[in-house]
């Protein structure tokens, strides 16, 4: 039986599709220090398994949007899930850090598809505030994954070792392929006329000449920079510097994610009363407050994990408001290019996050301070961009109310 629009079942399936990317990142975070040591690598080498994933994710997102616009959402989604499953199996058997980095890149090439295509399916079915509410509902369900994934990963690491995480992920992806094949309808109504590189570049050119799109793109990218700074360094900092165990780290990470879930739950009422931009404004203020609070606590408070975890909860509350609403607003003017727009936003997020992770990877072992400095910078920059880009966003938000 095919799933129908405006049903919780369809929302749940789309949320699970967007969740597999975070699952592939967050579930193995507690294992990072241990797999790094087991494979004889440096902390920077272990961190590269994260950055390689984001780079593969970025490349994949550029591909899947135009491909699905021309070939359809469902066949493209099934192909991407098959590649994701294959890459996960390669990770489980990788004999060296170099092979694991390469396998993570392959895994991410497949993992980009479900994220891009779930957002494109939302744009196929809904528009304006309805699309924003759907993305927020998906994000609420999605928020459970980064909260639970490190805890699951910590238990798997403790009981079976780091490879068990990738074995479980391979099984989960196989089940998702079966669900998509049996239950997900094709939602693309009008296919793009061609799949040429020239046509794809032309679509991206249209997007990049739209000042409103660029503004929302910047908001999602900058806010994500602070988030990935935390993701890429928190396991080393909270375990190696503050001495948390694998399971305690998973719990600390889950506490931060509570903020994200709170942001997505708050988004619906805010969008209804203040519009898309009103919700983004509240979120921008929250990421700025969370980042500056983390920097102040690390500099002036006693050294405890709470100095990092509690402010990050505030930052993630803001991310839960900024990113889904900015994504919906960025896609709003381009119903005929929803796949390409989703791809470009995703590519920019992931490529930027990978660069942030690589840069911070070189600071691991040098103390806690680089993390709060980075998070504070991106939090304040998000708020500054929101305030400076009001004129560019005005034409888009008048449609999105």
- Nearest CA-CA partner of 361 in 17, 24, 54: 54
Buried b (16+ CB within 10 A) or exposed e, 291-324: bbbbbebbeeeeeebebbbbbbbbbbbbbbbbbb
* 8 Å CB contact between 320 and 259: yes
Say what the pLDDT of residue 274 is. 87
Say what the pLDDT of residue 20 is. 83
Say what the pLDDT of residue 339 is. 67
Say what the pLDDT of residue 54 is. 84
Residue pLDDT, tens place only, 80-98: 999 999 999 999 999 999 9
For the chain, residues with pLDDT lower than 70 are: 128, 132, 140-143, 190-196, 335-336, 338-339, 365-366, 395-401
Kindly compute the dihedral angle of the four CA atoms of residues 49, 54, 59, 62, in this order, to the nearest 10 degrees. 160
Say what the pLDDT of residue 192 is. 63
């Amino acid at each position: 039986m095919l799933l129908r629009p405006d049903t919780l079942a369809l929302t749940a399936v789309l949320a699970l599709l967007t969740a597999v990317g975070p699952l592939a990142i967050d579930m193995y975070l507690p294992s990072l220090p241990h797999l790094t040591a087991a494979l004889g690598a440096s902390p920077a080498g272990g961190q590269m398994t994260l950055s390689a994933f984001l780079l593969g994710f970025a490349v994949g997102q550029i591909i899947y949007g135009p491909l699905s616009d021309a070939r359809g959402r469902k066949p493209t989604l099934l192909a991407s899930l098959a590649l994701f499953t294959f890459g996960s199996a390669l990770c489980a058997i990788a004999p060296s850090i170099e092979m694991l980095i390469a396998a993570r890149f392959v895994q991410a090439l497949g993992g980009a598809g479900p994220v891009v295509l779930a957002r494109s399916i939302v744009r196929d079915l809904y528009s304006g505030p309805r699309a924003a509410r759907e993305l927020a509902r998906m994000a609420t369900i999605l928020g459970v994954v980064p909260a639970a994934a490190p805890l699951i990963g910590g238990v798997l690491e403790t009981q079976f070792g780091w490879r068990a995480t990738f074995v479980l992920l391979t099984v989960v992806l196989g089940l998702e392929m079966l669900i998509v094949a049996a239950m997900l309808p094709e939602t693309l109504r009008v296919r793009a006329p061609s799949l040429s590189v020239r046509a794809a570049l032309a679509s991206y050119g249209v997007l990049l000449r739209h000042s409103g799109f660029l503004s929302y793109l910047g908001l999602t990218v900058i806010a994500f920079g602070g988030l990935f700074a935390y993701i890429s360094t928190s396991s080393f900092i909270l375990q190696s510097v503050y001495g948390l165990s694998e399971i305690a780290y998973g719990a600390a990470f889950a506490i931060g994610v509570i903020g994200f879930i709170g942001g997505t739950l708050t988004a619906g009422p805010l969008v209804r009363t203040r519009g898309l931009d009103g919700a983004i404004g509240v979120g921008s203020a929250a990421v700025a407050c969370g980042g500056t609070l983390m920097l102040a606590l690390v500099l002036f408070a006693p050294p405890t994990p709470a100095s990092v975890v509690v402010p990050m909860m505030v930052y993630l509350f803001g991310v839960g408001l900024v990113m889904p609403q900015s994504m919906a607003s960025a896609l709003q003017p381009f119903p005929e290019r929803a796949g390409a727009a989703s791809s470009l936003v995703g590519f920019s997020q992931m490529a930027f996050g990978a660069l942030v992770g690589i840069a911070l990877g070189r600071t691991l072992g040098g103390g806690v301070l680089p993390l709060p400095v980075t998070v504070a910078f991106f939090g304040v920059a998000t708020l500054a961009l929101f305030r400076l880009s009001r004129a560019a966003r005005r034409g888009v938000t008048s449609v999105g109310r």
